[in-house]
Structure 1
Amino acid sequence: MYHLTALVTLLAIAFYFFTAINVSRLRTKTGVKVPAMSGHPDFDRAFRIQMNTLEWMPIFLPALWLFAVYIGDAIAAGMGVVWIIGRIVYFVGYSQAAAKRGTGFAIQVLAALVLWMGALGAVVLRLVK
């Protein structure tokens, strides 16, 4: 069973939902009316945080699950938590200033790469056996 990976998946989705709520909150606070996609620096940064998180989910989630299936639930979940921490650090930094997003971005990229490369390596090893 993959209970830990399932929990991390749900946490990642909850974090994404949080970013969507934050965009809505800042839309109201800054007066950026729908359907505008920009208009106030605080809103613009919140929107980019949400979109960047969405852009990474199709990379992160399949890699997370393939890693869990081919390598192990606990290790996958641990790397998934690192990815979420990276997204949180990204959120906090980018919310303050665009220049402060780098550390969080690097953490989540590293976690996603470990998951993707681990899954790829495990699949290839099974193919050549």
Structure 2
Amino acid sequence: MYHLTALVTLLALAFYFFTCINVSRSRTRTGVKVPAMSGHPDFERAFRIQMNTLEWMPIFLPSLWLFAIYISDAIAAGIGAVWIVGRIVYFIGYSQAAAKRGPGFAIQAIAAIALWAGALWAAVSRVV
């Protein structure tokens, strides 16, 4: 069973939902009306945080699950938790200033790449 990976998946989705709510709150706070996608730097940063999280989900989630299936539920969940921490660090940094997004981006990118590379290695080693 993959209970830990399922929990991390649900936490990642909860974080993404939080970023969606944050964009809505930012619209209200900054006065950026729907359907506008720009107009205030605070809103634009909130929107980019949400969209960047969404952009990484198709890389992160399949890699997380394939890693869990081929290698280990617990290790996948641990690396997945690191990915979520990286997204939180990214959120905090980018919310303050665009220049502060780097550390969180690096943490989550390394975690996602580790999951992807591990899953790839495990899949290829079973074919060969």
Superposition TM-score, scaled by structure 2 size? 1.00
| 1:42 paired residue number | 42
Work out whether 1:78 is the aligned partner of 2:78.
Answer: yes
| 1:63 paired residue number | 63
Superposition TM-score, scaled by structure 1 size? 0.99
Structure 1 stretches lacking a partner, 5+ long: none
After TM superposition, give the deviation of residue 90 of structure 1 in Å: 0.1
Deviations, residues 61-90 of structure 1 (Å, cap 9, x unaligned): 000000000001000000000000000000
What code does the residue aligned with 1:113 have? I
Report the identity percentage. Answer: 83
- In structure 2, what is the Cα distance between the partners aligned to 1:66 and 1:38? 37
Q: Which runs of at least 4 in structure 1 moved beyond 2 Å after TM superposition?
A: none
- In structure 1, what is the Cα distance between the partners aligned to 2:11 and 2:53? 13
After TM superposition, give the deviation of residue 17 of structure 1 in Å: 0.2
The residue correspondences of 1:77-96 to structure 2 (distance < 5 A) are 77-96=77-96
What code does the residue aligned with 2:118 have? G
- In structure 2, what is the Cα distance between the partners aligned to 1:20 and 1:40? 17
| 1:107 paired residue number | 107
What code does the residue aligned with 1:45 have? R
Structure 2 stretches lacking a partner, 5+ long: none
| 1:15 paired residue number | 15
After TM superposition, give the deviation of residue 27 of structure 1 in Å: 0.2
- In structure 2, what is the Cα distance between the partners aligned to 1:110 and 1:26? 29
